[in-house]
A and B are shown apart, each in its own frame.
Chain A
Amino acid sequence: MEAPSGASNASAYHAEMDGDTKIPLILFPTCVMEAMAPAVGEAVVRTLRDRGFAPSIPPDATCCGQPAWNAGYPEEAATVARTTLAALTDAPSGPVCVPAGSCATMMRVYWPELFRRVGDEEARAAAVEIADRIVEFTRLVADDRRQADRQGTVAYHHSCHMLRELHIHDEPVALLTDAGYAVADWDDDDRCCGFGGLFSVKEPEISVAMADEKIDGLPLDGIEALVGSDLSCLLQLEGRMRRRGIDLPVRHIAELLDPSGPTDVR
């Protein structure tokens, strides 16, 4: 409904490319990816390199602050977010790639409000300044479409913040189909998985019921993996499926785009 936000300037960055020179890019890896899925982070790095970027992670970047912000603790969120904001501001210019729609939303949409709320004008101005550089991973990569002939049929979960705050819907699906995968129809593909950060701990029964309804709607017989672009949602869905004894592979989209990844879903 709003004007699309989070549009990448990757085309412009590509225009600056000179032969084999890679475009410097800041990768914000996200705490969940670093802790729970460094292998997915490697797939992200290789995919970005394949598309002409030279990713680096600012050593002092930590977390976007979202866990505390969503829980209602803006001071604590700001304390953490300030560290990351400073690390990104100090890093070279160029896109800041975030391989999770939720963290990208925190940084792009909520940082200005967070710093306004805690009365930190300097950080608020810096957050507004950097907002346009923050690009969610699939939107950045989708600027450079590549056809391939990988095999497999997957279901794709549209993560809420990515879909409704960054308005990214078509890009990840296009990337998957470009790569050769078939994306199965799934009625509930844009409904919340029930994670919601602290929500999944404070209201676990509702959270699990939400996951169950999504899982029950999956066309399990026709798919070889469940794919998403936000590891938090995937942890929730995978965590619930494992508990229910469903062993469907769960993959971050970068793993399916990884140039040195397997050529089928598994």
Chain B
Amino acid sequence: MSDDLRTRATEALADRGLHEALARATDRFVEIRRAGDDVANLDALKRAARWQRHRVMERLPEILERFADAVGRAGGVVHWAADAAEANDIVGDLAARHAVRTVVKSKSMLTEEIGLNEALEAVGIDVVETDLGEWIVQLAGDRPSHILGPAIHYTRERVAELFSARAGEELPPDPEVLCAYARASLRERFLEADMGISGCNFGVAETGTVVLVTNEGNGRMVTSVPPIHVVVMGMERIVETWDQLDLMMTLLPRSATGQQLSVYTTQVTGPRRDGEIDGPDELHVVIVDNGRSHVLGTGAHEMLHCIRCSACLNVCPVYRQIGGHAYGSVYSGPMGAVLTPLLDPSPAATELANASSLCSACHEVCPVGIPLQDLLLLRRADNAAGGAPAAFRAWAKVWSRPAAYRASIAAVQTGARMVPDTFVPSAWTDGRTVPRPRGRGSLRERLARGEI
């Protein structure tokens, strides 16, 4: 991660085109989510979902075992990866064993998190992102800026430039034409790929099923066409029963894109079976920890409930201003500001707790009721674990003594009247003018004396 949050944010703010793209995209996301509101008991479902996610976490080891056993019974192979390096090694070994040259991928933020593409490319494997947005970002040598719409920071003109350069001919900035080009180009890659890699929206433990949600169909291609399918799955992306899956699937598409269901809900239980003409010969499920288990047992444990719908990004007024890249992480917006330092508590990551005005809009929309604002507060407290600065210690001393408090209020009022722009930090007055106090004197004394 380069620079600090404030530097990255300032750069993003200077990019007016970026701001327009973000405002348009997030407004549109919010608008389509409202349009999908056909369920009468949504609040009850959200409360239940919070509880069910908690129930899963309480029994996570048992549920993972049950899932793994069921995957095995269906003919799949489960691998356990403690961290990013192990996960990448597991996938790399599988690729080597099968002499894989080309990998097609459907969108997976976890593989971005662990740097799987880079690891495979380092050993000479051609890795092709097939989600349209991911492909755009990959062709540009860029990073996703939104967990659901990786390329929402791109205009159609920029996409046309990228595709034209690849096609060797001028393509117009028309989404229809650009999509058709992507379809044709990626279709070849699907048919020649030796391995498909997908993420996992939910594992269902009782049957060992991997559930994938996509709209384009690339998730289906990745799980249907190549001879090997590798699922890279965060260990928390699991439910125990189909009842729970139903509850989650009522909430996920509605919160993500305002759909009742995504176009394709693909439910994979094991590899191709006898008599089936297609589907992979091998199914591998790589269950990844990579810092997740350390979130359990902390006050931030509810972050593992996240189902990656991105609703919190779309309503976040800070994300709206600075976009995903300014967070310097695969995960952005409120969920990213909380999750990133949980997985990697570096100073650059922990600083993300400041990327919030604590407006609670994220909590309001979260389908599983994660109190994101409280988790941001918790992180701020962790960041300050070394002790409060002298100014706050002095403040606490003075404002815990009523007489001293009253005196300081009088002093602030006088300061604000006499020297308004020098009694608050310059970071505030650089962009704002301190308003003059309205009225004069001590409210409480005047009330006590009957002067009001």
Contacts and interface: CB of A to CB of B under 8 A. Distances in A.
Are A and B close enough to touch in the complex, i.e. CB under 8 Å?
yes
Interface of A: 1-2, 27, 29, 31, 33-42, 45-46, 55-57, 59-63, 67-77, 79-80, 82-83, 87, 113, 117, 160-161, 164-165, 191-192, 194-197, 199-211, 213, 235-236, 238-240, 242-243, 250
Interface string B409-452: 10011001000000001011011111101111111101110001
A164 B380 CA distance: 21
Interface string B286-305: 00000000000000000000
Contact of B438 (A27, A38, A236): A38
B383 interface: yes
A37 B400 contact: no
B10 A205 contact: yes
B10 to A, nearest CB: 5
B427 A201 contact: yes
Given A70-B358, A83-B399, A35 B43 contact: no
A81 to B, nearest CB: 9
Contact of B388 (A63, A73, A239): A73
Contact of A46 (B322, B425, B452): B452
A129 B200 CA distance: 45
14 contacts: A2-B43, A34-B409, A38-B438, A41-B447, A57-B448, A62-B400, A71-B380, A113-B374, A160-B361, A161-B360, A199-B356, A201-B428, A203-B318, A205-B431
A59 B363 CA distance: 36
A34 B206 CA distance: 60
Contacts of A67: 395
Contacts of A211: 432
Interface string B34-60: 000000000100100000000000000
A236 B429 CA distance: 10
Contacts of A206: 9, 13, 318, 321-322, 355
A97 to B, nearest CB: 13
Nearest to A62: B405
Interface of B: 5-6, 9-10, 13, 19, 23, 43, 46, 317-318, 320-322, 353-361, 363-364, 369, 374, 377, 379-384, 388, 392-393, 395-397, 399-402, 405, 409, 412-413, 416, 425, 427-428, 430-435, 437-444, 446-448, 452
Given A62-B399, A62-B402, A63-B399, A42 B359 contact: no
A160 B405 contact: no
A70 B388 contact: no
A239 B409 contact: no
B5 A203 contact: yes
Given A63-B405, A236-B432, A56 B383 contact: no
A38 B361 contact: no
Given A61-B402, A194-B317, A199-B354, A72 B384 contact: yes
A18 B168 CA distance: 87
B443 A41 contact: yes
Contacts of B369: 1
B392 A73 contact: yes
Contacts of B363: 164
Nearest to A117: B381
Q: Which of B381, B383, B443 has the most CB of A within 10 A?
A: B443
B357 A235 contact: no
Contact of B396 (A60, A80, A87, A192): A80
Contacts of A33: 443
Contact of B452 (A42, A75, A242): A42
Given A2-B43, A57-B444, A72-B381, 18 more contacts: A31-B409, A34-B413, A34-B443, A38-B446, A39-B438, A41-B439, A42-B439, A68-B392, A71-B384, A76-B392, A79-B400, A164-B361, A201-B427, A201-B428, A202-B354, A205-B10, A209-B321, A213-B321
B321 A80 contact: no
Nearest to A214: B317
A45 B401 CA distance: 25
Contact of A42 (B382, B425, B431, B443): B443
Nearest to A210: B317
* Cβ-closest 5 pairs across A and B: A39-B439, A196-B357, A72-B380, A239-B432, A76-B396
Given A160-B360, A192-B359, A83 B428 contact: no
Q: In this complex, which of A29, A195, A197, A204 has the most chain B Cβ atoms within 10 angstroms of its Cβ?
A: A204
Nearest to B369: A1
A204 B428 contact: yes
B396 A242 contact: no
B220 to A, nearest CB: 34
A79 B396 contact: yes
A2 B371 CA distance: 12
B392 A209 contact: no
Contact of A196 (B356, B409, B413): B356
B443 A57 contact: yes
Given A63-B399, A79-B400, A191-B317, A37 B438 contact: yes
Contacts of B382: 72
B46 A1 contact: yes
Given A39-B438, A239-B435, A205 B6 contact: yes
A54 to B, nearest CB: 11
Nearest to B425: A201
A209 B447 CA distance: 39
Most A-side CB within 10 Å, residue of B355, B382, B388, B412: B388
A83 B446 contact: no
A38 B441 contact: yes
A70 B380 contact: yes
B377 A70 contact: yes
Given A38-B443, A69-B377, A213-B321, A240 B384 contact: no
Nearest to B433: A242
A201 B391 CA distance: 14
Contacts of A161: 360
Contacts of B432: 208, 211, 236, 239-240, 242-243
A58 B89 CA distance: 65
